[in-house]
Amino acid sequence: MSDVKKVVLAYSGGLDTSVILKWLQDTYQCEVVTFTADLGQGEELEPARQKALKFGIKPENIYIDDVREEFVRDFVFPMFRANALYEGEYLLGTSIARPLIAKRLIEIARETKADAISHGATGKGNDQVRFELGAYALMPEVKVIAPWREWDLLSREKLMAYAEANGIEVDMKHKNGGAPYSMDANLLHISFEGRHLEDPKAEAEESMWRWTVSPEAAPDAAEFVDLEFEHGDVVAINGVRLKAHEVLAKLNELGGKHGIGRLDLVENRYVGMKSRGCYETPGGTILLKAHRGIESITLDREVAHLKDDLMPRYASLVYNGYWWAPERVALQTLIDHTQKNVNGWVRVKLYKGSVSVVSRDSKDTLFDQTIATFDDDGGAYNQADAGGFIKLNALRLRIAGKKGR
């Protein structure tokens, strides 16, 4: 008899977690509490409630929470203040949702007096690490049930067979009748893994993409968009002030229309293997470009370079699941301090898969046109000073050159 009486399951209502719900009931003979997060994935979440009810979950044990505003305000925006990119390309759309889900799982576990939490991450992936590091940081003694590390349903075809045997509906079957792509969506991105994407030689099907048109099919006319920043965060688009989640939703709409934000990536997972995935991050791609644009005129050179030095470390912490670790919090404190004067507006040009900054301005700008001009600067900058500056910086090179090395 299991000592687990009640478990909180991170439940999407999809194939994996629907199977897990039934498996937990059968294997642990325990009460299950389901938590479904509305992260802006663009799907109707009521079916998740109906599926949970079908398997005997008490109505009071079904949590469907709208966390869109918290997600963007407290997780996505802080990450974008750091200009975080994992391995130079990935905008961390899946990674950044996991600490919020872990936080909410623990809150519900405390509220319902549950003994354990459970998730649908596989034993091969990064998400198991992200969920569990977050959970242990917030509730050190929590018990975690990770079915993929316990059961023998180790392929999506086996999952589908189990689902059919237990009357679990499977949505979005592939056109040839096989398992669907493994997908994850939230307001920042949608990801695709599995099927023929597991062969790095195979090009992604055009029909796979959901949020973006192909750059070839995007409008022939460019679109210009003005973004207003306060302390490093976008607060208005084209003069209209919006909440954080509304900002990202609007940027997704604009970017998707112009074919912006597609990525086909082979990345290095934390558990050691290489993995191929495809991502759509239209709004995030625009946001990153615009944020670097406003920082270019408001950040001191050495502060900007320090941020760039720290960024890969910060990105790896997010990717590997250390959002709640003290080193990420310490880095965030430094990063947020640098954003005090990152205020102003940026105009971006969206055109056939590309986004470029075409103008920017700020009351806190460090750009001094009287010094930077190629015209007569009226003595604002003494060009003769550069000679001594160069000689001093060349001193070690000249000494080494005289020694022939």
Residues marked as binding for L-citrulline? 90, 95, 126, 130, 182, 191, 267, 279
Could you tell me the two tokens for 140? 């050190």
Place of tokens 């670790």: 325
Kindly give the residue spans of alpha helices, DSSP state H, lying in 120-155: 127-138
User: 328 an active-site residue?
Assistant: no
Contact 341/298 with Cβ under 8 angstroms? yes
- CA-CA distance, 59 to 63, in Å (whole number)? 9
DSSP 87: T
Kindly give the residue spans of alpha helices, DSSP state H, lying in 186-300: 244-257, 282-298
The active-site residue out of 68, 81, 182, 276 is 182
The active-site residue out of 98, 156, 195, 328 is 98
User: 377 an active-site residue?
Assistant: no
Q: Of 305, 291, 306, 298, which Cα lies nearest the Cα of 81? A: 291
- Considering just the CA atoms, what is the radius of gyration of the chain in Å? 25
- Annotation: binding site for L-aspartate: 122, 126-127
- Annotation: binding site for ATP: 10-18, 37, 120
344 class by beta-carbon count within 10 Å (0-12 exposed, 13-18 middle, 19+ buried)? buried
- Annotation: binding site: 10-18, 37, 90, 95, 120, 122, 126-127, 130, 182, 191, 267, 279
DSSP 74: I
Contact 252/279 with Cβ under 8 angstroms? no
Contact 94/107 with Cβ under 8 angstroms? no
- CA-CA distance, 100 to 108, in Å (whole number)? 12
- CA-CA distance, 157 to 296, in Å (whole number)? 50
Helix (H, G, I), strand (E, B) or coil at 21: helix
User: 127 an active-site residue?
Assistant: yes
Q: Just list the catalytic residues.
A: 16, 98, 127, 182
